[in-house]
Structure 1
Amino acid sequence: MILQYLKQEFEQETNSTRKLLQAVPEKDLNYKPSEISWTMGQLAQHIATIYYWYVGTLTKDVYDMAADHLERGDVNDIKATLALFESNVEKARAALESLTQDDLQNNWTMKVGEKVVLGPMPRGIVARGFLFNHIYHHRGEMIVYLRATGNKVPGLYGPTYEESL
C-alpha cells in the first residue's frame, strides 16, 4: 500500500516540480542570494538531477556516487535543464515502477568512493528523506529565488499570492 502512495505522490509532485522549473527565467539564471548560495541555474539543475538519483537509490543496495557519472549540461541554459529533468523523471519513474513492497524494507547505503555518507537504512526511509523531501526542500529555495527576483511563483498546492492579483 505504501508503495502505491509513493508512486501517486511521485506523479503529483513531479508535475509541481515541472511547473516550478518552467517558471525559471533565463534572464535570472545567474542570480544568487548570497556568496555561498548556488545560482538559480545551479539550483534548477540540482533539482533536475535529484530525479536521476532515484535510479541508484531504488535499484541498488549500495549506491556509489563517485562511480556514477551523470552528464548535467549547462546551468545557464534552462531549456537544457528542463530536458535533463524530463529525461531523469522517466528514469526515476521506471526505477519506482520496478520496486516491490518488500524492496522498501531492504537496507540501502550511499557511498562516495569508500566513504559511507548515508545509511545503511531501509530503502523506504531513504526514498522519503533523500529523494522526495530533498526535492521539496530545494523547491522551497527556488520559490524564494523567484520571488527575490520579482518573478511569479506557480501554485503548487493551490493559488499563490501572485496568481491572486
Structure 2
Amino acid sequence: MLLDEMDREAQTTRKMLDRVPDDKYDWQPHPKSMTVRQLATHIAELPGWVSLVLNTPELDFAASPYTPMPIRNHRELLDYFERSLAEGREQLAEANEARLSENWILREGDQVYSSSSKSDFIRTTYSQIVHHRAQLGVYLRLLDIPIPGSYGPSADDPSF
C-alpha cells in the first residue's frame, strides 16, 4: 500500500514541480516563508526520506544539521526529485513488515518531535509532501503560473 501511495503522489508532485520557473527561484511570498527554491527543493527531497527512515533509527538535527541540495534550475530540480523517488521506492520495495514496525525518532537533541513506527513516519513523510506541494500551489498561483490538477481538475486544468 505504501508503494502504491508513493507512486500516485509522485505523479502529482512531478506535475507541480514541472511548473516551477527558473526565473522565480529566489521569490518568496513573505519574509517568514521559504523561497520557491527552498520549498521546491524540500518537496523534491522528501521521497528520499523513505530511505532515511528505513535505514536509520532516527534523525537528530542537532547531530546532523539540515543542508539542502543546491538546485539552480528546473532540470536539476526534476532530476533531484526523480533520484529521491527512485531511492525511496527501491528501499520501500525491499522493506518487510518487521522493518516497517521498528521505531523511528525525529529529534533535535533532547527535543523529540516524533516517535513512531517506520511505516507511520513514512506516511507522515507523504503528508509532508502533500502539505508542501499545496504551499507551492499557493506560490504558483501568486506568481500567476497555472496550477495542475491534483486529485481532480484545477481552475487552470479543468480537463485533468
Same fold (TM over 0.5): yes
TM-score normalized by structure 1? 0.85
Query: Aligned residue for 1:53?
Result: 49
Deviation at 1:116, TM superposition (A): 5.2
Query: Residue 164 of structure 1 aligns to a residue in which SS?
Result: coil
CA–CA distance in 1 between the matches of 2:53 and 2:83?
Answer: 17
1:52-106 CA deviation, whole Å, 9 max, x = no partner?
A: 22111122223345448866123x4222111111111111111111211222221
Measured in 2, the distance between the counterparts of 1:98 and 1:116 equals 31
**How many residues matched?**
158
Contact 2:27–2:35 (8 Å) recurs in 1: yes
Q: 2:115 aligns with which of 96, 113, 120?
A: 120
Q: Tell me the C-alpha RMSD between the 2 structures.
A: 2.1
Deviation at 1:117, TM superposition (A): 3.4
Structure 1 gaps of 5+ residues are none
Structure with more helix by fraction: 1
1:156 is aligned to 2:150: yes
Does the 8 Å CA contact 2:149/2:158 hold for their aligned counterparts? no
**Segment drifting more, 147-156 vs 93-102:** 93-102
- Residues 86 and 70 (structure 1 numbering): CA distance in 2 closer, same or farther, change over 3 Å? farther
The answer to whether the 8 A contact 1:108-1:120 is kept is yes
Task: Indicate conservation of the 8 Å contact 2:42/2:68, yes or no.
Answer: no
Deviations 1:29-67 (A, max 9, x none): 222110111111111001112122211112222334544
Q: Which secondary structure state, in structure 1, belongs to the residue aligned with residue 5 of structure 2?
A: helix
Instruction: Tell me if the contact between 1:54 and 1:96 (Cα under 8 Å) persists in the aligned partners.
Output: yes
Distance 1:159 1:125 in 2: 29
- The 1:132–1:160 alpha-carbon spacing in structure 2 relative to 1, beyond 3 Å, is same
In 2, Cα distance between the equivalents of 1:27 and 1:52? 26
Q: Deviations over 1:119-147 (max 9, x none)?
A: 43211221111x11011100000000010
Aligned-partner Cα distance in 2 for 1:92–1:21: 18
- TM-score, normalization by structure 2: 0.87
Pairing of 1:130-145 with structure 2 (within 5 A):
131-145=125-139
Q: In the alignment, is the contact (CA less than 8 A) between 1:109 and 1:116 conserved in 2?
A: no
Matching of residues 10-89 of structure 1 within 5 Å: 10-65=6-61, 66-67=63-64, 72-74=69-71, 76-89=72-85
